[in-house]
Amino acid sequence: MTDKDIDKNTAMLVIDMQKESKYGIDGLQEALDATESLLDKCRSLSIPIIYTRHVGRADKLGLVSNDVLDSDGRPVFYRSDTPDFEVIDQVQPRLGDVVIDKYRWSGFYETPLDLLLRTEKIETLIVVGFVTDGCVLTTVFDAFARNYDVVLVKDACAATNSGAHKSAVLTMGNWVYGIEIIDSHELLKKLKGSPYASWKSTAPDLLAYSSDRLDECYASLSGESKKVATDGR
């Protein structure tokens, strides 16, 4: 993959890195640090940056069925009239970035995300964000259903606990054909055109894990056993 290919066909998708997340994400700061470094590099390469924000409207319009409400009948999470709805300061959008508000887990559901990507002829999505087993997982599956290639940056994603994060990453590895799973420091190498390590799906259901092998199977995604050539082959 060359810088020209990256500029023309790739976008970075930052999913729901909102201030609400500070209340219960395991590995929050590590994911933010990884994302910040990737944002800097992507911006230097003029890679488009797209953010999603999950919305819990204070007037309750558009809420999912059985959403969690407080004693006054207002949504508890991502409420639109609170600062917790906004993107975390460390990874704030900048002028020229796209911000898409959504009312369901997937960034594609009833939003203009697919239209914007196709208009810009985007083929590959670099995916980071929260939570791995919720909005990240559903967005990645919907991207796959629309024939986008997915690069999942696993240390720039996080969930409420490590088990949920790891099992979701492994599920995506099993069933999103062609997905590339990579750590942020390796993706930075890739974006610079240097040799890098990653794991890429070559067939479905390759990551046969059970509860007692979860950590072992997740560790196999590091790709340290082999380096990938600069062109990704």
Three-state SS at 152: strand
**What strands, in cross-sheet order, belong to the sheet with 149-158?**
98-102, 49-54, 10-15, 124-130, 149-158, 180-182, 199-200
Band of residue 233 on the pLDDT scale cut at 50, 70, 90: very low
Instruction: Examine residue 83 and state whether it is found in any structural domain, yes or no.
Output: yes
Per-residue model confidence (pLDDT) at position 6: 55
Band of residue 205 on the pLDDT scale cut at 50, 70, 90: very high
Q: At what angle do helices 28-44 and 184-191 cross, to 10 degrees?
A: 10
How many whole angstroms separate alpha carbon 87 and alpha carbon 127?
16
Instruction: Examine residue 51 and state whether it is found in any structural domain, yes or no.
Output: yes
19, 32, 63, 77, 83 from 80: Cα distances, Å = 12, 22, 12, 9, 8
Is the pLDDT confidence value at 37 over 70? yes
More confident residue, 186 or 1: 186
Q: pTM of the prediction?
A: 0.90
Rounded to an integer, the average pLDDT of 188-215 is 93
Instruction: Examine residue 232 and state whether it is found in any structural domain, yes or no.
Output: no
Per-residue model confidence (pLDDT) at position 57: 85
Instruction: Examine residue 231 and state whether it is found in any structural domain, yes or no.
Output: no
Instruction: Examine residue 228 and state whether it is found in any structural domain, yes or no.
Output: no
> Total domain count for the chain?
1
Of 28-37, 61-70, 172-181, minimum mean pLDDT range: 61-70
Q: How many CB atoms lie within 10 A of CB 70?
A: 9
Is the pLDDT confidence value at 127 over 50? yes
Instruction: Examine residue 227 and state whether it is found in any structural domain, yes or no.
Output: no
Rounded to an integer, the average pLDDT of 165-185 is 97
Instruction: Examine residue 233 and state whether it is found in any structural domain, yes or no.
Output: no
Domain that holds residue 142: 3-64+71-222
More confident residue, 135 or 60: 135
pLDDT (tens digit per residue) in 213-230: 899 999 999 864 444 444
CATH number at residue 34: 3.40.50.850
Q: By the 8 A CB rule, do 130 and 17 touch? A: yes
Instruction: Examine residue 76 and state whether it is found in any structural domain, yes or no.
Output: yes
